[in-house]
A and B are shown apart, each in its own frame.
Chain A
Amino acid sequence: MGGSVRPGRLIRMAQVAVPSGRATARWVSWDFVRLRISRIAGIRDTIFDIWAACSNILTEMDKKKAIDDTEPGPAPSRVVDRFGFIKPEQSGSPDGLPKGRSIHDREREERRIRKWRKMIGVGGSDWKHYVRRNPHVVKRQIRKGIPDCLRGLVWQLISGSRDLLLMNPGVYETLVIYETSASELEIIRDISRTFPSHIFFQQRHGLGQRSLYNILKAYSVYDRDVGYVQGMGFLAGLLLLYMSEEDAFWLLVALLKGAVHAPMEGLYQAGLPLVQQYLSQFEKLVMEHMPKLGQHFVEEMINPSMYASQWFITVFSYSFPFHLTLRVWDVFLYEGIKIVFQVGLALLRFCHDDLVKLPFESLLHALRNFPEEATDPDVLLPIAFTFKVSSRLEELQKEYQKGPESSSETSSIKRHQALISKTMSRGGSRVISNLTADKK
């Protein structure tokens, strides 16, 4: 492995390979008996796969370092990026690894980790105390990004999931082993379609896929009203890359049931009420913060449901570069859903001058394919934090909940439908001018 392996990285690799001793011992699966027999072999294979992938990353990092230190040469062919995503061939996409990291950068990173370790204490023992005494320091540090090797632990501390886990011993195990869910087939169908390009979830019936299945099934039993909804898998999958199955389950519970922030289960309940509300709030914020662009959207009949549903439903984990997703999640877990609005606004602000010029189709394309520069967290997040949205979001929520009867405006959904309908028939108007032209 070479001497360049930092302790932090080793810890994280170990977490990825085997979530934790406890979870492994309790680990159950689709076909309990069959998989129990093949379990040891399965884990060993997965560990081997990930270990191989990780060695690959480190070797490539070393190679890259050597190249950086000497002269520019052809980029080595890489298998996975630093987060475990399999890289498309000849991809020029960034993997969040700063090019030519200097010794200075590495030293700074190590200082940051030491600072974080002090804040957290052993196994998180000092965390609550520290947060109470220095809430602003914590907020600032989290906005800068949680060190990757401590992310899993810190996420559990700031989301309140650690407490849920401790208060509910044995509950997860029961949900996984003894309960059956009406959503089992639906979940299985989506398992291989969740982070399909991540090495942890690639192997059919591998550890990643089985853990993902277990969490989603357990949740669908835990909250039968929500059950399983597409999109939840991306939340669970993201968490599984940083913690054990059981820890990830309780973090999902903390989010959807609202352990620290407002519950998010409305994103997935029948009618997707919270998606509708967030989209309506977002549309209004765009109009208020970027009136020119907001007006352009109205003229081009672009509705937030056409581009932003995924932002809210998966908290930016569906289609954005992973290093951005992680930084958004750091803030999301500490500060709540408002960061999704802020990052959404920041994306629009960053591309504002281009977007206002684009017609419907290119506009929609641009809103689903932001340029690489726009998705750099160190560029995007500072812009996001300039949007002060908390109190306005509350007002807009009250306005929205009053409903269409008491509001002078039609409800978002009705306007949405009318808009889309109009968009659809615009083609018709177009046809007419052509027919007329033909006749002339």
Chain B
Amino acid sequence: MSGRRPATWEQAGDEYDYLFKVVLIGDSGVGKSNLLSRFTRNTFSLDSKSTIGVEFATRTIQVEGKTIKAQIWDTAGQERYRAITSAYYRGAVGALLVYDVTKAATFENVKRWLKELRDHADANTAVMLIGNKTDLAHLRAVAQEGAAAFAEREGLSFIETSALGATNVDTAFETVLTEIYQTVSKKALASDEAASSASSVGEGQSIQVSAGDSGSLTTRCCAF
């Protein structure tokens, strides 16, 4: 069957079960690009350039026996750039909202970013709050407990990371990807039940997909 898939969906040696689009957002200078390069290339640069517009990278991981490919869009943090970057929130199944633990203002702005997500992203987007730069312990300005409590109130996952020290970076991405996977598979299951009892598919969009030689099948779209 895989041989019949459109060639554009994969390249040789690039097999995966799921493809999830994730966006990295948060104030300028909190370390989004370095979190991305740490996760996708295991590199960190102390003198990196500020991101202009959007950047893009991917990494494939295993979650509960499934191969999951994360397609990650890294966005410029400055407010003015939202004119370009907000388009990338739409359709994203996950968002990593980053602040800098040494700069209280970047944490205070988290609320504005959440509003931004609510305005532009889908309601089901899994959001993880990330406090980055924990290696600068002596400069810490945002307490872990306070941020964790905030995340809980807002229904976000939460973790503190250091892209420089490679601390918790993989865990952060893996957590959000697992969360997305679980939501997707739960939805799939629910829809299966709905479909088997010959009722309409619930809130998940129902779309027609021509899948190889099995012809036209009514299935579910997992990108929320």
Contacts and interface: CB of A to CB of B under 8 A. Distances in A.
Interface of A: 186, 189-190, 192-197, 202, 229-231, 233-234, 268, 270-272, 275-276, 299-300, 305-306, 309-310, 313-314, 318-319, 359-362, 364, 368, 413, 416-417, 420-437, 440
Contacts of A197: 47
Given A309-B54, A361-B11, A427-B21, 10 more contacts: A193-B47, A195-B49, A230-B28, A230-B80, A272-B81, A305-B84, A359-B9, A427-B93, A428-B223, A437-B2
Given A275-B84, A359-B9, A432 B90 contact: no
A310 B52 contact: yes
Interface string B1-41: 11001011111000001111100000011000000000000
A186 B52 CA distance: 14
B198 interface: no
Contact of B222 (A318, A360, A428): A428
A400 to B, nearest CB: 15
B54 A421 contact: no
Contacts of A360: 8
Given A305-B87, A436-B217, A431 B19 contact: yes
Contact of A230 (B78, B91, B220): B78
A411 B76 CA distance: 23
**Which 6 pairs between the two chains have the least Cβ-Cβ distance?**
A424-B91, A428-B223, A427-B19, A309-B53, A196-B47, A425-B223
A429 B223 CA distance: 8
B25 to A, nearest CB: 15
Given A196-B49, A300-B8, A364-B56, A431 B212 contact: no
Given A413-B87, A421-B91, A427-B71, A231 B52 contact: yes
A362 B10 CA distance: 10
A359 B7 contact: yes
Contact of B90 (A421, A435, A437): A421
B137 interface: no
Nearest to A300: B8
Contacts of B20: 427
Nearest to B217: A436
Interface string B213-224: 010010111110
Nearest to A308: B53
B28 A190 contact: yes
19 contacts: A202-B47, A230-B50, A230-B76, A230-B78, A276-B83, A306-B54, A309-B53, A318-B52, A359-B8, A361-B71, A368-B56, A423-B21, A424-B92, A425-B223, A427-B93, A428-B222, A429-B209, A432-B221, A436-B219
Contacts of B53: 305, 309-310, 313
A437 B81 CA distance: 41
Contacts of B28: 186, 189-190, 230
Contacts of B52: 230-231, 234, 309-310, 313-314, 318
Interface of B: 1-2, 5, 7-11, 17-21, 28-29, 47-56, 58, 71, 76, 78, 80-81, 83-84, 87-88, 90-93, 184, 188, 207, 209, 211-212, 214, 217, 219-223
Contacts of B17: 431, 434
The prevalent SS among residues of A at the interface is helix
B219 A432 contact: yes
A425 B91 contact: yes
A436 B90 contact: no
A65 B91 CA distance: 56
Nearest to A439: B192
Contacts of A429: 207, 209, 221
A306 B56 contact: yes
Nearest to B17: A434
B212 A433 contact: yes
Nearest to A193: B50
Nearest to B51: A230
